[in-house]
Structure 1
Amino acid sequence: MISHTPNFTGWSAAILHREDSNTERLMRQFGLLGIRATQQWLPLAAADLPDIVLVDADQGFDDLLPWEKENPPKPVVALLGSEAPGRIAWALGCGAGAIIAKPIATSAVYPALVMALSIHEERKAVADKLQHLEERVRLRPLVHAAVEKLMAARKLDEEGAYRLLRDCAMRRRLPMEQIAAFILGGAEPLPEAI
């Protein structure tokens, strides 16, 4: 989540929309914001992703965007003139973090860009945290095995062995899973009970 109002100067944008008065307004507004924009009604190439993508949600189709649904690598803004639930769902499914209603009002552009960027960064942070937690859960059997090894070697109960492992990790400023892997692999001597 962004904590400041971003400056989009120097950014690039792709407007995936047929050329019309809406795209003309967007191009003018992007020029004022210092954004280099291109407009096309062809599928976006994965190798040429801009900093932000604006997509026509009224006529958009799945192959227009080169990423898996709901997992955009860049912030996405949907351009929407319809109230059709299917078109709104399509925009959300593409990962849109903001919507600009058509006909486009220039005053709606900057707030939508800020919103899309904020939502995108928040999604990335949540995904990174989830990946970290999944990795820790995957490594929990190592911690359990290290606790059992400490219980047998140091004649401790489970709570005492866990506390010893945790204290060792805290002293070394390393994750418990890493210390457990070191102990099990023989790279770390068994810590002494304090």
Structure 2
Amino acid sequence: MSRTPNFTGWHAVILHREDANTERLTRQLGLLGIRATRQWEPLATWDGADIVLVDADQGWDDLLPGEGDAPYRPLVALLGSEAPGRIAWAMKQGASAIIPKPVAASAVYPALVMAVSIHEERKAVTERLQYLEERVRMRPLVHAAVEKLMVARGLNEEHAYAILRDCAMQRRLSMEQVAAIFLGGAEPLPEVG
């Protein structure tokens, strides 16, 4: 993330029992323009929350939606314990920042910025990985198209691959897309020839 987010108008869900920490946290969130609601029951869905803050000291596995997947919203752990198990639990839930308890006003904003930034980076990495996995799954199509060009045109592998690559570049499509079009017979690839 290259810019600091403006939290005005955001909604935060605080999963924590009511105490002095939640009062300080709610007050500080309000100063940042964030509307906060507090509950100490499982969060049914990520919808309706822009950011979630969870008590990592007393949290349990079913407190957050999903089964160990990355959270769909930035997640901040509220942690007063140094117990390795509680830290591990927060990490397993996908927390990307920690606000130590007792909550200090000066710790809230940096933790929110960090949580949002890391959450956006995780999303970008996940999307990139899905894209690359799809390209790998489609790679046999490229190989089959190259082989078909080699047989049909009497070309060597390098030249057939270059023709397919040039066609993809001209059409501004991926190699996999052009290979699928060619193999499916949707178009004879007039550039090939």
For the aligned pair, the TM-score class normalised by the smaller chain equals over 0.9
TM-score by length of 1: 0.96
Structure 2 equivalent of residue 188 of structure 1: 187
Q: Distance in 1 between matches of 2:46 and 2:132?
A: 30
Q: Distance in 2 between matches of 1:96 and 1:179?
A: 41
Q: Distance in 2 between matches of 1:49 and 1:123?
A: 20
CA RMSD of aligned residues (A): 1.2
- Count of residue pairs brought into register by the alignment: 193
Structure 2: gaps spanning 5 or more residues: none
Return structure 1 stretches of 4+ with deviation > 3 angstroms.
190-194
Structure 1: gaps spanning 5 or more residues: none
Please give the residue correspondences for 1:55-94 in structure 2 after superposition, counting only pairs within 5 Å. 55-94=54-93
CA drift at 1:191? 4.5
Q: Distance in 2 between matches of 1:113 and 1:134?
A: 31
Q: Distance in 2 between matches of 1:155 and 1:73?
A: 51
Q: Distance in 1 between matches of 2:48 and 2:91?
A: 19
Structure 1 equivalent of residue 23 of structure 2: 24
Structure 1 equivalent of residue 138 of structure 2: 139
1:155-179 deviations in Å (ceiling 9; x for gaps): 1101110010000000111001000
1:95-153 deviations in Å (ceiling 9; x for gaps): 00000000010000000000000000000000000000000000001101100110011
Structure 1 equivalent of residue 104 of structure 2: 105
**Sequence identity of aligned pairs in percent?**
76
Report SS of the residue matched to 2:113: helix
TM-score by length of 2: 0.97
Structure 2 equivalent of residue 174 of structure 1: 173
Report SS of the residue matched to 1:37: strand
